[in-house]
Structure formats: structure tokens, C-alpha cells
Amino acid sequence: MKRISVFVLLMTCILVAGCSKNIYKRNGDVRSEDNGNRSSVTIGLSQIGSESDWRIASTDSVKAAFSVENGYDLIFDDAQQKQENQLKAIREFIDQGVDYIILDPIVESGWDSVLLEAKEAGIPVIVYDRRVEVDDDSLYTCWIGSDFHLEGKRACAWLSEYLKSKSIDREIKIADIQGTLGASAQIGRSEALDEAFRQNRNWKLVARDTGDFTTAKGKEVMNSMLKQCGDEIDVVYAENDNMAYGALEIMEQRGYKPGYDIDNGEILVISFDSSRNGLQMVLDGDIAVNVECNPLYGPRLVEIIDALEAGKEVEKETFIDEEQFSGIGYIGTIQVDGKPYTVTQVTPELLAERQY
Ligand code: GYE
């Protein structure tokens, strides 16, 4: 009797394993099999949250690329803008024995231990968009993302060209609405502005606070800046589109006008991301210049995973190319460190083709 039930139990286990979609194996050498015997790759992806249009577009892109039809099992985790949730998710991925971990880190610091755990478990970690700051860079396989510092420099170069074109050489007062403090996108964009203050002695920082990359916080921060020094502000440097939307909303409510004409009291708004809504605001004249940050990471990450699956070497660091957009056509090029960058004028046609 006892022998029969052990046999039945054993057969059941074999059957269940045979039908199950995923047989997780560490070290990436044996893949899970589905019923059609097609091998699939299991990926644990830790996403920061859904704080912005950029982030939502990025999530859609990775989900579409790592679909079941394409041969992937994607375990997606939304960390709700909390690093502790990302750490927890990564540890769960390790316990589940995923083939790869993909991480968009909310801030740069604090990853050494968890990445060491992944390394010890033999799971490659691919970092994208924002970066990790670790003592030992063998803790992750590679990183792909934007040059946030260069994005900031391009925004500042545009402002400098614009002021020159209008022969404005008086003191320029700038308010900086920063992204999530400690995030690569904030560090790079804020640092570029700090550099511009050193290079342009008549540019002055009159207010700086974090709006956490969200519309709601952008609005809140802009509101207190307007109360504190609204009549002085010439330029708002919003470190993403969502904070720019929030800032514009409260500016309108409090009777401030966005635009290019800073000598007649308009506030010139600079933004980053160039999402469809952001470019619409450029077309409407509310945002003067918008530096692109491309969120479509799905296909780029698929390329990396497929290369690793094929046993190929991947670049340790890859920067993606990005553009900048304005509502005016007469500044067609800007220079950063001796290199020219084209500024594209936003048109309704361009907007109609924008994917995100
Ligand atoms: O600019 C912002 C998002 O990390 C580049 O995060 C990304 C930034 C992006 O919330 O909109």
C-alpha cells in the first residue's frame, strides 16, 4: 500500500514537471522547456515604478519585447519608487533561480551586497537606464543607457545659444526642479547645470528642490518656488517632462506665463525626455527646449540577452544616441565640447509619428 502511494506520488511529480512551463535552473546553462519543447529564457526584471510617462513607455517596451511568444518568461516587479522593494525583488529572483536579472536602479548606491548574491548564484545582471555605483564592476554584466550629463550639457548649450541670439547678457535666474536625488538621471542633469553656472558667471541658481520625477511633486515644488521668488525666475530647468507639466500647471494657476520672452516676464522652461506630451508642450510654446531621453529599452535588452544566450561577449557600457527639440527653428545646431548637435524643430507631423 505504502509502496503504491510512493509510486503514484513519483509519477505525479514526473507528469507535473513534464507539463510545467518553467523548470528553473541556475547558471544559465539549462533552459526551461514549455510543452511545445521550445526553450524559453526566464528573466526577472526589477522596474523602478511608474512615476512618469517615460517610465510607463519603458515598461511597455520591455513587456512587449520579452513576451511568451518571443520565448521569454518575464517576471516583472514594480518597486513603487522604493529601493528596498528592488532589493527584495532581486533576492526573490535569485531564490527562483531565474536565468537573468535585469535592473533599472532607482539610485546609484547601495547595490554591492545584493549584486554579490546574484553573482554567487551565477545569475548575470544587466543594468539599464540608470546606473549602479559599485566597488567591483564585475558584479554586473553590462550597462546600457543614456548619457545624462551630456543631456544636461545640451540643454545648457541651447540656453546659452538662445540668450546669445537675443543679445541677452544680463543676470539670468534659474530654478532647478531636480529628479529623484541620487538617481543617475538627476546626478547627470544637475551636474551639467552646476557646470554651466561655473562657465556662465551671470547665470544664478535661485531655487533648487527635488520633484521626484513626478507631476504632483513637480507642481508642489514649483508652487513653493513661485511663492518664494516667482517674480525673479527667468528659467525653469525641469529634470523631466512630468515635473515640467506640474510646473506649467501651477504657473498657469498663479498667473505666470511660460514662453521664450524672458525680457517681458515670461518663464522659459527647459525639460528632458521628449515624450509625446512633452513635445506637444514644445509645439504649444510652453516648453522651450526638450532634450530627448529614449525609453524604448525592450529591443535593446533583447539584443543583449540573445547575445549572452549565444555565448557572445557584450559591451560593458553602451550609450544610446538621443536628440533635442525646440519650438523655434533658428537655433539649428548647438555645440558641446566642440561637437555639433542638431536641434530639431517640433512640427505636428513629427508629433504624429512619435512612438511614446
Ligand atoms: O527622465 C524620468 C524617469 O531614468 C531616464 O526617470 C530616467 C528618468 C526619466 O522617471 O522621466
- Give the residue with greater pLDDT, 12 vs 169: 169
| Beta strand extents in 119-216 (DSSP E only) | 125-128, 142-145, 172-178, 203-210
Grid coordinates representing 16? 507535473
Residue whose CB lies within 8 A of the most ligand 1 atoms, among 62, 273, 300, for a mutation test: 273
pLDDT of residue 7: 43
Alpha-carbon torsion 290, 235, 154, 243, what sign? negative
- What average pLDDT does the segment 290-305 reach? 98
- Calculate how far, in angstroms, residue 213's C-alpha sits from the geometric centre of ligand 1: 7
Whether 250 and 221 have beta carbons less than 8 Å apart is answered as no
Task: Answer yes or no: is pLDDT of 30 > 80.
Answer: no
Q: How many CB atoms lie within 10 A of CB 103?
A: 28
Radius of gyration of the chain (CA): 24
Ligand 1 atom, smallest distance to 51 CA: 10
Domain 148-293+323-353 - what CATH class? alpha beta
- Calculate how far, in angstroms, residue 147's C-alpha sits from the geometric centre of ligand 1: 12
- Calculate how far, in angstroms, residue 148's C-alpha sits from the geometric centre of ligand 1: 10
Please identify which residue in the block is written with the cell numbers 524643430.
345
Residue whose CB lies within 8 A of the most ligand 1 atoms, among 143, 181, 240, for a mutation test: 240
Ligand 1 atom, smallest distance to 273 CA: 1
Q: How do the domains of the chain map onto residue ranges?
A: 37-146+295-319, 148-293+323-353
Q: How many CB atoms lie within 10 A of CB 257?
A: 13
Residue 351: name the closest of 325, 332, 321, 331 by CA: 325
State the helix-helix crossing angle for 184-199 and 148-165, rounded to 10 degrees. Answer: 40
- Calculate how far, in angstroms, residue 286's C-alpha sits from the geometric centre of ligand 1: 20
User: What separation, in Å, do the N-terminal and C-terminal C-alpha atoms of the chain show?
Assistant: 64
Grid coordinates representing 327? 519650438
How far apart, in whole angstroms, are the C-alpha atoms of residue 285 and residue 281? 6
Whether 28 and 100 have beta carbons less than 8 Å apart is answered as yes
CA 312-45-135 angle, 5° bins = 70
pLDDT tens track for 232-270: 999 999 999 999 999 999 999 999 999 999 999 999 999
Residue whose CB lies within 8 A of the most ligand 1 atoms, among 52, 180, 239, 292, for a mutation test: 52
C-alpha distances out from residue 23 to 8, 37, 96, 331, Å: 21, 12, 10, 57
Ligand 1: residues within 6 Å at CB? 51-52, 54-55, 129-130, 185, 213, 240, 242, 272-273, 293
3-class DSSP assignment, residue 333: strand
Task: Answer yes or no: is pLDDT of 35 > 80.
Answer: no
pLDDT tens track for 41-93: 999 999 999 999 999 999 999 999 999 999 999 999 999 999 999 999 999 99
Residue whose CB lies within 8 A of the most ligand 1 atoms, among 108, 213, 270, for a mutation test: 213
The CATH T-level fold of domain 37-146+295-319 is Rossmann fold (3.40.50)
Length of the chain: 356
Is there a shared CATH topology between the 37-146+295-319 domain and the 148-293+323-353 domain?
A: yes
Burial class (CB in 10 A: 0-12, 13-18, 19+), 333: exposed
pTM, to two decimals = 0.90
- Calculate how far, in angstroms, residue 47's C-alpha sits from the geometric centre of ligand 1: 12
How far apart, in whole angstroms, are the C-alpha atoms of residue 263 and residue 279? 24
The contacts of residue 192 (CB under 8 Å, 6+ apart) are 149, 150, 151, 152, 153, 155, 156
Ligand 1 atom, smallest distance to 148 CA: 5
- Calculate how far, in angstroms, residue 27's C-alpha sits from the geometric centre of ligand 1: 32
Task: Answer yes or no: is pLDDT of 38 > 60.
Answer: no
Whether 218 and 245 have beta carbons less than 8 Å apart is answered as yes
- Calculate how far, in angstroms, residue 52's C-alpha sits from the geometric centre of ligand 1: 7
At residue 179 the predicted structure's pLDDT band, cuts being 50, 70 and 90, is very high
Alpha-carbon torsion 70, 76, 78, 83, what sign? negative
- Calculate how far, in angstroms, residue 205's C-alpha sits from the geometric centre of ligand 1: 23
- What average pLDDT does the segment 16-36 reach? 38
